[in-house]
Structures are given as C-alpha cells and as structure tokens.
Structure 1
Amino acid sequence: MTTHMTGTRKEWLAARLELLKAEKEHTRRGDELARRRQELPWVRIDKDYRFETDAGSASLANIFQGRSQLLVYHFMFGPDYTAGCPTCSTIADGFNGFAIHLANHDVMLCAISRAPLAKLQAYKRRMGWTFPWASSFDGDFNADFNVSFTEQQQREGGIEYNYLREPPASTIPFRMGKEAGNESPPVQNAIMTGTDVATYLRERPGMSAFVLEDGVVYQTYSTYARGLDGLWGMYQWLDRAPKGRNESGMWWRRHDEYNKG
C-alpha cells in the first residue's frame, strides 16, 4: 500500500490546474532569463587561442565552422585522466541528437578539454559520439575561462569557480584519496577517471557562448556548476518522474558501464 497521498481524478485535475499556473509562471520566468542572457555585453576575445581538432590546428574562430555562434561545453578531461569525467559524459550523451539541429540553425556545438587530442578521440570512439571535440592542451583557454586550475591555486585557495573564490583544498570536505567507501560524487568521479580527488578537481565543468562578427570573436555568456542543470537531459526527465531525482550519492555511470559487475 502506497504511503503517498491519493485522490480521485477530479481531485487530481484540480491540483494539476493549480500546478499548471506555477509551471506557466516558471516558463515565463525562463523566457525572461533567456532574454537577459542575450542582453549581456559582449567581451572581445583578442588572445590567439589554438586548439587541436580532427581537422588539424585551429583558432577559436575556426571552431565556429562557418557559423556565427558557438556553444562550448567545458568537458572535464584533464591530461592526467585515463577517461573522461563520468558526470560530463552523461551530459554529453545528449549532444549527438541535437548538435545537428544547432548546426543547421547557425550554432556550432563543440566540447573542449585539456587532454591531448588522441585521448579525446579514443574516448569519443568508445562512447560512440560524433559531435566536435577539440583539445586545448598546453594552452590558456581553460584557465582563462575558469575551468582548469593549478595545484598551487588549489593548495593556496586561488581557485575562482562559478564566480566565487574557493577555500584551500585542505578544507574541502572530500577525502583526497581513492577510498571506494566514500560515495561522494567527487571521489567516485575521481576513481572513474583514474585520478585522486585533488587531480580530478583541478578540472571543472562549464559552458561558454561566443559569437563571430566581422571576423572578431566575442564571449557572450558562461555558466558553471548547477547552471549546467538544464543541459543534463536525464534530470529534466527525472524531475517529471513520480519519484523525482530520488538519489543518494552518485548513481549514474558511463552508458557502457551499467550492468557491469
């Protein structure tokens, strides 16, 4: 017997109509936030960032591939990782489906990571992904967009992520080892990327938007942490499921790792 409140169809419909009012207000609020994102001032990018891609060395303008808009997913895959971040991987699982639609609407979607291109290509083949993925290895791009940090920054409290300054790593409440008994997502993600937690957390997730006008690239938007929630497709479905997210600790895996012993 369920412990959840039950009712008649009439009672459900009355409650649903009340909820619909709130949902419509939420939608209108979302439209307003989207408009405000688009009204942000553009920041000219003058640094000559270089990337390695499947087609060879490329500038940031080259990454647009003929489009005027570029959306970059800052995928956590550091040079010391043996595989991509499992959490970023669940987000990226959705990219194949809509990247082609964006590309045909003047928007290029590309993931960028610090790992060497060969590592990215191998992992991309493993995951069965086809969206563009560029390596920023040995460049400043990730650091300049606040998604990669040095060991010294981490140790001394010099990390500024999601527009906030973090305390030194020694005060972060995650054990800095591969303790399988610790189910916190940072530890589990570190284990699954073949690193310790400190190394894993020197990379961070995010997304940035750019526009190309008259040969000049401008940054228009960046978001991090929970700002990526809307890009995580499975959570949009879970938020509409009867039990919601219904989670305790890290339950997700890479899509080829479920049902493994």
Structure 2
Amino acid sequence: MPNRIVSRTEWNEARAELLAREKEQTHASDALAAARRRLPMTPMEPVTVIGANGSVGLQEVFEGRRLLIVYHFMWKNGKPHHQQCEGCTHSQAAMTAAVCAYLAERDVTYAVFSSGPIDEILAYRDFMGWTMPWYSTADSPDVLATRNGGDLRCYLRTDDQVFQTYETKWRGIEAMMPSLQLLDLTADGRQETWEDSPADVPLAKAGSWWRRAGRPIAQWTRTDEAVD
C-alpha cells in the first residue's frame, strides 16, 4: 500500500495543507495565462492548406470566427490506421464535437493540420469518428511546418490579416488530455518513470501505455479487429 493510513482528522489536516498549495498553483497559473494573453503576436504570410473541398487560405480555416486553435497531428504517410501516432491520437480523443462547440461559443474554431495526403488524414478522422475539420499542409509553406507533429498553435484573424499569437509543444499540449489530469489526482498517478512516486507503484516509460496490442488505445473504441 503506497501511503500511510491515518485517522479522518489527520487526513483532513493533510488535505487542507495540500489544498493551500493547490490554490497557490491555481493563482500562479492564472497569472501565467494573463501574461500569455499579452504575448506579442506576429503576422502570418499568406498560406494555403488543402481541405476536404480543395485548397483554402488560412483565413478560411477560421470559418468566420475570430480565433483559431490548430493541432499539428504527426502523420506517417501510407501507413494503416493502427500505425498512426498514439500520442496525437490520445490528444485528439478528448476533442469531441461538444468540446469544439463550447470553443465556438467563444468565437474559437478548432482544426487539425497534418503533413500527409488529405485523403489519408480524412480517412483516419472518419475511422475514429471525429468531426473536427482536418487539413493537409503537404504543399504549404515552411511557416506551417513543425518538428514532426504534436504542436499546438493559436491564431487571431482581423479583416485582412492573420496573426500567430501562441504555440506550445511536448507537455504544453497536456491541456488537451484530461485523462492525464485525472490520473494526476489518483494515488498511483500516471505510473510513469519520470514521476516521484511511492516505491511500490509500478512505473513504465512515459507514453508507453498509449498503445495496446498494436493499436493506439482510442482505436479499440472503434474496432475489435486485432493487428499483427
């Protein structure tokens, strides 16, 4: 058993101490978000991406809204569904139509960019049952390129110009993965080797559990077909 067993009174006291630290973290996060909202922005050159209906300018990806969040999904050209990125699949699994609707209510469009062919990436989106718009950047300028995917970028649109306002990568995209936030609340945490955990908690390499029996975990909600 990983933790000490104590009386309810002692547990309440320990929980109160931790709650004070959690509130400090919340206030620090609020201050960081305020600074993020004041980050300088940089103009985007005119660029196009390829959507389901052909080539469109970046302004059209906003779908008439003022703000745009773009996730860059790592793509493995020509690979079957089960060989696509488990990390990017994990991040997209929580981006339901309802979540996108809430974003839209605050004048924000959510979209996904991938460097692969549009027919392949749309086939994967449909296989997963996702509804967010996806676009191919295969023929786009380098300004839309990323290291290899997994980046998150934010844009603002005016009448005649698009500005990039923010970007993040690596653990910065964890806001999209509520499964990780919820695991952080449990006694065992994420059970990954980088964590400071009690000695008897079994640990594995970060992200190693995002794939099971040859498929990204989320795919098993769509099929029961085994893979080699």
Determine if the TM-score, normalized by the shorter chain, exceeds 0.5.
Answer: yes
> How many percent identity over aligned positions?
32
Q: What does 1:24-103 correspond to in 2, within 5 Å?
A: 24-46=23-45, 48-83=46-81, 84-96=84-96, 97-103=98-104
Inter-partner Cα distance in structure 1 for 2:174 and 2:144:
19
**Which of the residues 186, 191, 194 maps onto 1:241?**
186
Structure 2 gaps of 5+ residues are: 193-203
SS in 1 for 2:155: strand
Match of 2:198 in 1: none
Task: Check conservation: 1:111, 1:134, Cα contact below 8 A.
Answer: yes
Unaligned runs of 5+ in 1: 149-202
Measure how far apart 1:81 and its partner are: 4.2
What TM-score do you get using the length of structure 1 for normalisation? 0.73
Instruction: Tell me, in whole angstroms, the C-alpha distance in 2 between the residues paired with 1:111 and 1:43.
Output: 21
Q: 1:146 to 1:227 in 2, by over 3 A?
A: farther
Q: CA deviation at 1:144?
A: 2.4
* 1:126 alignment counterpart: 127
The equivalent residue for 2:195 is none
Q: CA RMSD in A?
A: 1.8
Task: Using structure 2 for the length normalisation, give the TM-score.
Answer: 0.83
Q: Using the alignment, how far apart are the partners of 1:8 and 1:145 within structure 2?
A: 56
Task: Return the offset for 1:4.
Answer: 2.2
- Rounded to whole Å, the distance in 2 between the matches of 1:214 and 1:245 is 44
SS at match of 2:126: helix
Q: How does 1:7-22 map to 2 (within 5 A)?
A: 7-22=6-21
Q: What CA deviation, in whole Å up to 9, does each residue of 1:31-73 have, x standing for no partner?
A: 1111111111110112x21111123321100000010000000
* Aligned-pair CA distance for 1:108: 0.3
- Note the alpha carbon deviations across 1:150-171, whole angstroms, 9 max, x for none: xxxxxxxxxxxxxxxxxxxxxx
Contact 1:114 1:136 in 2 (8 A): yes
The Cα shift of 1:78 comes to 4.1
**In structure 2, how many angstroms separate the alpha carbons of the residues matched to 1:3 and 1:123?**
41
1:252 aligns with 2:197: no
Tell me how far apart the structure 1 counterparts of residues 107 and 175 of structure 2 sit (CA, whole Å).
21
Aligned mates of 1:214, 1:78 — CA distance in 2: 36
Distance 1:3 1:52, change over 3 A: closer
